[in-house]
Amino acid sequence: MIIVLKPDTTEKQREHVLDYIKDFGLKAHVSEGAYRTVIGLIGDESVLQSVPLEALPGVESVMPILKPFKLASREFHAEDKIVFARGVPIGGPHVAIMAGPCAVETREYLDVIARAVKAAGAAILRGGAFKPRSSPYSFQGLGEEGLKMLRETGDALDMPVVTEVMDTRQVDTVARYADILQVGARNMQNFDLLREVGKAGKPVLLKRGLSATIEEFLLSAEYILSEGNPNVILCERGIRTFENSTRNTFDVSAVPNIQSECHLPVVVDPSHAAGRRDLVVPLARAGIAAGAAGVLVDVHCEPEKAKCDGPQALLPPAFADMVRELGLIANVVGRSIVRGPVQDSKSRSVPKHPTRAPKPAE
Amino acid sequence: MIIVLKPDTTEKQREHVLDYIKDFGLKAHVSEGAYRTVIGLIGDESVLQSVPLEALPGVESVMPILKPFKLASREFHAEDKIVFARGVPIGGPHVAIMAGPCAVETREYLDVIARAVKAAGAAILRGGAFKPRSSPYSFQGLGEEGLKMLRETGDALDMPVVTEVMDTRQVDTVARYADILQVGARNMQNFDLLREVGKAGKPVLLKRGLSATIEEFLLSAEYILSEGNPNVILCERGIRTFENSTRNTFDVSAVPNIQSECHLPVVVDPSHAAGRRDLVVPLARAGIAAGAAGVLVDVHCEPEKAKCDGPQALLPPAFADMVRELGLIANVVGRSIVRGPVQDSKSRSVPKHPTRAPKPAE
Amino acid sequence: MIIVLKPDTTEKQREHVLDYIKDFGLKAHVSEGAYRTVIGLIGDESVLQSVPLEALPGVESVMPILKPFKLASREFHAEDKIVFARGVPIGGPHVAIMAGPCAVETREYLDVIARAVKAAGAAILRGGAFKPRSSPYSFQGLGEEGLKMLRETGDALDMPVVTEVMDTRQVDTVARYADILQVGARNMQNFDLLREVGKAGKPVLLKRGLSATIEEFLLSAEYILSEGNPNVILCERGIRTFENSTRNTFDVSAVPNIQSECHLPVVVDPSHAAGRRDLVVPLARAGIAAGAAGVLVDVHCEPEKAKCDGPQALLPPAFADMVRELGLIANVVGRSIVRGPVQDSKSRSVPKHPTRAPKPAE
Amino acid sequence: MIIVLKPDTTEKQREHVLDYIKDFGLKAHVSEGAYRTVIGLIGDESVLQSVPLEALPGVESVMPILKPFKLASREFHAEDKIVFARGVPIGGPHVAIMAGPCAVETREYLDVIARAVKAAGAAILRGGAFKPRSSPYSFQGLGEEGLKMLRETGDALDMPVVTEVMDTRQVDTVARYADILQVGARNMQNFDLLREVGKAGKPVLLKRGLSATIEEFLLSAEYILSEGNPNVILCERGIRTFENSTRNTFDVSAVPNIQSECHLPVVVDPSHAAGRRDLVVPLARAGIAAGAAGVLVDVHCEPEKAKCDGPQALLPPAFADMVRELGLIANVVGRSIVRGPVQDSKSRSVPKHPTRAPKPAE
């Protein structure tokens, strides 16, 4: 950590800063510059994470040298993490397609849609039973009834299922039915929920908050990891910006950006990013081209009857065309689409992936 | 609701749209324009809130005419709402100062700080026992122990207390100790929590999410109101923007903007908006000048020892100066600072406040 | 255009609105809804573009039905536009790679870099002679001397050149040397400059402003088009958001979003979007996968000696690897990289490209 | 400046970094930390402003210690700057009201409006003759004819006039008529224009760009100051955010934030920030309460006939009420509204203003 002192700091204030630091067992390294005095701290700066250094008289600014997350970092775990959901790998060389209706509505719709996405190449079935809705008057999901339908359909088609959990009190119930617990964007900083899913013993798909920085996103993953659950999948699903012709702005750079400092797999959700059906396919292609470990896509056989997000759902034929294109693009970046469970699910980690980031000959 | 059709819509698609609308009991009013066909819907458009009209073939765009919230609107409740916390009014002509440490740390600190803010003119005591922290490694609050201290200090000084609740499982506990339940910015769209605090029978202070639009903010208030709790206080506390020299950007326009369509009192939190002590006082003044019904301010007697947000805490003397200035500004806009409980707490509503918005002679 | 009246509008105010509209030669179509009166205007609403309808007493809101741009729209020109620069096509099935140093520095550097990018597959040479810099103390470019070097190098290698023009007074000079005039992000709404480049008789590469909506971006293109210059290339180069680990946020959705309503080719600049070398290649791949008509990339043989944006410049070997990958991805979306001038540069327009947007079977 | 090396940096890379720095005449101060090596540079770091340190192999990040602007800083000029326009002071204890129509339209309108704002307490007349408009089809202003009207009206009422200049080629013309040259938000980084107005010998009112950070804003002021013109007035007029119920988000914190590091006066433009008449007055009050040195307000006697921004123009009676309120609030923060030219315009600088920023007793 670097502490910069104000130009008019008194000798007494300076001594106070140095004493303050010493109390935390850190060594100070003082540089008297031409315009400012700079104090470098040597030792484990994580002890200062909650300490209000900026509140000390005479301090102009404080700059951390280390990232505030640890278990989520490449320094802690260098290789790409591969998360397995009922044997289906996500991460490393494996690209997983997760598709299904936004919300579970009826057994019939779910069955038709699930068969279609499975046939087209999806490995994992998605569908919401508890739906976070901006308005209290919108459809809120079928609850446990929806979870049952999802489980049965997943079992019938041998597809692991991913579904959202919104409340700490639902975690046990959802974990009984789902193979992957999804934490939605609006709950990315619901810290009690993060802790509970960290304890639930199932992989977690954590969506990025609408205005979360990459650092905050990884700190939320850290909450889950620090409960002993290493199976976290990160999902970029669009951020809030001034642009209003799309629902959110799909931050495709989050994929390589996160991968450069974090070992967890990153998937993308172009459906919720765009909110418009006509942009879903190009954004899915962009995500895979940027190195994503998977896509999460809303598909519906009758979008105009969908109870949630119909305008962004792909029809099955468009979805099938998309999966074909994604397979070709995945190959360009040295990966391939996984169609179902793999035999050897023991090796939960593989060497750093070669296409992860450009390594210019330095 | 207005539906705009694409220029190349077929006759069949058009008929399909009209049939679809009719099924919801609405009348359609078709205008054939020079470039587009526009369909106006007559009837209660709230039945279409969850309906995917954009997913219908031939539809270019859909524009709602009515706001999606109802109980929060001025159309439902024209006069300014006054919320009472143990007899202390917030809203209408009353400006309430809520102050205290960011987190409850020790009984001693709390006592010193509470006495200081009371003496300076604060009517309500704030302090966090459950703290939402970006990092799992930061101080997370004292929990129920902190709630007890807060209650005892509030009782000793005859100050109602406001404190945050983060998890549906904590609502009963927090409601036993607190006079106002605070829902933090990160939980503004934790819909299960909104429902639970709506049922808890205590006033709720709802903070605006970091990237929440005014409409989303009012829809979250609607969740609470729709559980039968009319005592909601809204709090502007800064939004996420590109500007990085402050922690957030204080959206002072939210105050008159919300007041123009919603009857609930709006307070401001300049401490969390700025994240920097030197900006707290000017922003508090700006909030009151814009018509806020109160301010929520972090105060600490030893900021450098604070376990949370020390760099933004005011020292008691600066706080006292600020309250004096706020009183003068409140008078300019026809209001005054409330010092404690008022006798007549029966009239929970007053006529629309004259300074609410400029009414140019039209 | 749709005008929504406030619920408490008087009969007199309503009549005033109707009279006001009639004066512009438009017909009004009044719908009395359950909660609001809505007035639809029939006729050419473009006559109302500058008219302050919201200022009329009784008006709650005004919603335009038509986009405010015309010449830039697909309704005006349905097919993909192909722009030719010295015979090199950009748009339609042709993907053009534009590469070179951020700034022209010395003849030697320029020569080495230009040969390298040409060998790797770039069709167009980029390089700045007039540099817009945030600080007055940064390197401002070589001016006309730089333009000369760029022209000579372009001629020697048979590569058209693109370079920025910043000031209306420089347009003639820059147009003498360059094949494509670049208008930078900071000048996207320098309207006098847009008009001048519209008159200069050369293709224009217009970069999106850091906080420009798609609609504003297309209105700026409209300024150029309305001067009689149909050869406009649009460039997405990142927008300003709260995320601060990249210089800007690369809005890859802008590519299909613009293409859905505008016929002009859209290229991407991943170098300036990211500001970090390690993200350039994945973002370039994402852009082409999303349907971009080209990429603009900073390349330097000695980034640590670059006078401008060295940290984002690719080294020639990494650039060559990238071009190979981009070629494969372009093929997946039905396009191919153009290596140089094509014979038949007469047909300036081609049928709508099939991969432009997903067309789900409706 | 602080350079942080990557954990896996080789000895050779490290030596290369140290040699590189030495070439610029700076001394390096190396701290070997537990996790990172940190290099502090001692000497005049401004020589490194354009140097691509991040491009050096082994460098993880670079942190500047000093602000990149100099002439705009409090370190260069500690006292509040007072700018005089024809004897009317702006800054220090003086609050100036600048009002008038958004655009000069006719001599009659201008005359009526100017008399009204003068009577209500405005000291400076505003009005646009060259109008930057998003669409090429909107009213673009009367040009020199409008400048003449503005000058004549200003002279008749003894009011200095402020008007926008958009193009380097217009600077001489505008400077002949205007007392203050306005550079609009869209031209905040039109660097050639900044240089020209820096040479024109008249005070400049520089508006903050829609997505400009405070640092970029001050660097743009630095362009003007570095041409020898010390008379720069900064104007906050709203920034681009996700919130779409106002045209822009009024960043009131910019006022004290800028004042904490820059000596130039800061005024606010609530009209363009909000784009809605009903918010102008509360935002103006907020600006003055936060310490602004003035307000810039659109006023029109017949907003529905205005050719530009009618929906945000105040009517004269509402304006007069507002000025009265602003006077009272200015008094609370130790300032007062200036009604016209002052005698002693020699002292162009006064001691640091006491209400500038809260100074908690440390």
The string of pLDDT tens digits covering residues A144-181 is 999 999 999 999 999 999 999 999 999 999 999 999 99
Tell me whether A252 touches chain C (CB under 8 Å).
yes
In the predicted model, is pLDDT for residue C345 greater than 90?
no
CB contact under 8 A, D33 and A44: no
CB contact under 8 A, B50 and A223: no
Contact B266, B259 (CB under 8 A): yes
Residues in B 13-42 with any Cβ partner in A closer than 8 A:
20
3-state secondary structure of B185: helix
Instruction: Examine the domain organization and report whether A8 and A129 are in the same domain.
Output: no
Q: Which of D214, D250, D358 sits opposite B318 (nearest CB)?
A: D358
Residue D48: alpha-carbon gap to chain centroid = 27
Name the closest residue on chain C to residue D55, using Cα atoms: C311
- The model's pLDDT over C4-61, given as tens digits with 9 standing for 90+, comes to 999 889 999 999 999 998 888 888 888 887 778 888 888 777 778 778 888 899 998 8
Interatomic CA distance for residues D241 and D211, integer angstroms: 8
Lookup result for tokens 């026992």: B129
Which chains have 3+ CB pairs within 8 A of A? Answer: B, C, D
Name the closest residue on chain B to residue D313, using Cα atoms: B360
Neighbours of D241 (CB within 10 A): 27
- Mean model confidence pLDDT for chain A: 91
Longest dimension (CA), chain C: 76
Contact A222, B135 (CB under 8 A): yes
- Range(s) of the domain holding residue A20: 2-63
Mutate one of D65, D215, D362 to test the A interface: name it (highest A CB count within 10 A): D65
CB contact under 8 A, B49 and A308: no
Instruction: Examine the domain organization and report whether D100 and D57 are in the same domain.
Output: no
The answer to whether position A357 is within a domain reads: no
Write down the pLDDT at residue C7.
86
Interatomic CA distance for residues A324 and A318, integer angstroms: 10
CB contact under 8 A, B168 and A169: yes
Which chains have 3+ CB pairs within 8 A of D? Answer: A, B, C
Mutate one of C190, C220, C242, C271 to test the D interface: name it (highest D CB count within 10 A): C190
Q: Which of B36, B242, B244 sits opposite C65 (nearest CB)?
A: B36
Angle at C207 between CA C201 and CA C210, to 5 degrees: 150
DSSP bridge pairs for B84 = B89
Residue closest to D243 by CA, chosen among A210, B236, B212, B256: B212
CATH number, domain with residue C283: 3.20.20.70
Instruction: Examine the domain organization and report whether D103 and D34 are in the same domain.
Output: no
The answer to whether position A97 is within a domain reads: yes
Tell me whether D52 touches chain C (CB under 8 Å).
yes
Kindly give the confidence (pLDDT) of every residue in chain D, 362 residues in length, as a single tens digit, with 9 standing for 90 and above. Answer: 889 999 889 999 999 999 998 888 888 888 887 778 888 888 777 778 778 888 899 998 888 888 889 999 998 999 999 999 999 999 999 999 999 999 999 999 999 999 999 999 999 999 999 999 999 988 899 999 999 999 999 999 999 999 999 999 999 999 999 999 999 999 999 999 999 999 999 999 999 999 999 999 999 999 999 999 999 999 999 999 999 999 999 999 999 999 999 999 999 999 999 999 999 999 999 999 999 999 999 999 999 898 888 889 999 999 999 999 999 999 999 999 999 998 654 444 444 444 444 333 33
Contact C239, C248 (CB under 8 A): yes
Q: Which of C288, C332, C357 sits opposite A278 (nearest CB)?
A: C357
Which chains have 3+ CB pairs within 8 A of C? Answer: A, B, D
Instruction: Examine the domain organization and report whether A281 and A328 are in the same domain.
Output: yes
Lookup result for tokens 């004290």: D256
Tell me whether B63 touches chain D (CB under 8 Å).
no
CB contact under 8 A, D311 and C52: yes
Contact C266, C238 (CB under 8 A): no
CATH number, domain with residue C55: 3.30.70.1140
Contacts of C289 in chain A (CB under 8 A): 282, 285-286, 288-289, 329
Mutate one of D253, D305, D329, D356 to test the B interface: name it (highest B CB count within 10 A): D253
CB contact under 8 A, C211 and D216: no
CB contact under 8 A, A241 and C256: no
State the nearest Cα–Cα gap between B55 and chain D, in angstroms.
24
Angle at A149 between CA A147 and CA A153, to 5 degrees: 120
Residue closest to B167 by CA, chosen among B145, B183, B150, B144: B183
> How does DSSP assign D109-160, residue by residue?
HHHHHHHHHHHHT--EEE-BSS---SSTTS----THHHHHHHHHHHHHHT--
Instruction: Examine the domain organization and report whether B49 and B104 are in the same domain.
Output: no
State the nearest Cα–Cα gap between D342 and chain C, in angstroms.
34
Contact D222, C135 (CB under 8 A): yes
Instruction: Examine the domain organization and report whether B281 and B217 are in the same domain.
Output: yes
CB contact under 8 A, C35 and B63: no
Q: pLDDT band for B85, please (50, 70, 90 cuts).
A: very high
The answer to whether position C75 is within a domain reads: no
State the nearest Cα–Cα gap between B270 and chain C, in angstroms.
19
DSSP H stretches of helix in A98-161:
107-120, 144-157
Tell me whether C310 touches chain D (CB under 8 Å).
yes
Contacts of A308 in chain B (CB under 8 A): 50
The answer to whether position A71 is within a domain reads: no
Tell me whether C211 touches chain A (CB under 8 Å).
yes
Q: What is the interface size between C and D, counted as CB pairs within 8 Å? A: 131
The answer to whether position A29 is within a domain reads: yes
Write down the pLDDT at residue D32.
81
Contacts of C32 in chain B (CB under 8 A): 42
The answer to whether position B68 is within a domain reads: no
Tell me whether A245 touches chain C (CB under 8 Å).
yes
CB contact under 8 A, B135 and A20: no
CB contact under 8 A, A318 and C242: no
Total domain count for chain A? 2
Q: pLDDT band for C64, please (50, 70, 90 cuts).
A: confident
Tell me whether A199 touches chain B (CB under 8 Å).
no
Contacts of B293 in chain D (CB under 8 A): none
Contacts of C280 in chain A (CB under 8 A): 358
Write down the pLDDT at residue B280.
97
Q: What is the interface size between A and D, counted as CB pairs within 8 Å? A: 57
Instruction: Examine the domain organization and report whether A23 and A165 are in the same domain.
Output: no
Q: pLDDT band for B46, please (50, 70, 90 cuts).
A: confident
Tell me whether D136 touches chain C (CB under 8 Å).
yes
CB contact under 8 A, B32 and C44: no
The answer to whether position A119 is within a domain reads: yes
Instruction: Examine the domain organization and report whether D55 and D145 are in the same domain.
Output: no
Per DSSP, D333 falls in state: T
Please report which helix (H) or strand (E) contains residue A261, including its range.
helix A254-261
**What Cα–Cα distance (Å) separates residue B161 from each residue in B44, B322, B348, D265?**
42, 21, 20, 41
Tell me whether D317 touches chain B (CB under 8 Å).
yes
Residues in B 71-130 with any Cβ partner in A closer than 8 A:
none
Contacts of C328 in chain A (CB under 8 A): 332
CB contact under 8 A, B226 and A136: yes
Residues (pLDDT < 70) of chain A are 343-362
CB contact under 8 A, D252 and B255: no
Instruction: Examine the domain organization and report whether C35 and C99 are in the same domain.
Output: no
State the nearest Cα–Cα gap between B129 and chain A, in angstroms.
14
Write down the pLDDT at residue A41.
83
Instruction: Examine the domain organization and report whether C52 and C169 are in the same domain.
Output: no
- The model's pLDDT over A78-118, given as tens digits with 9 standing for 90+, comes to 999 999 999 999 999 999 999 999 999 999 999 999 999 99
Write down the pLDDT at residue A28.
86
Tell me whether D304 touches chain B (CB under 8 Å).
no
CB contact under 8 A, B191 and A166: yes
Q: Which of A273, A332, A360 sits opposite C329 (nearest CB)?
A: A332
Instruction: Examine the domain organization and report whether A31 and A103 are in the same domain.
Output: no
The answer to whether position D349 is within a domain reads: no
Mutate one of D30, D41, D242 to test the A interface: name it (highest A CB count within 10 A): D242
Instruction: Examine the domain organization and report whether A47 and A111 are in the same domain.
Output: no
Contact residues for C285 (Cβ-Cβ < 8 A; gap 6+): A289, A290, A332, A333, C322, C325, C326, C329
Write down the pLDDT at residue D67.
86
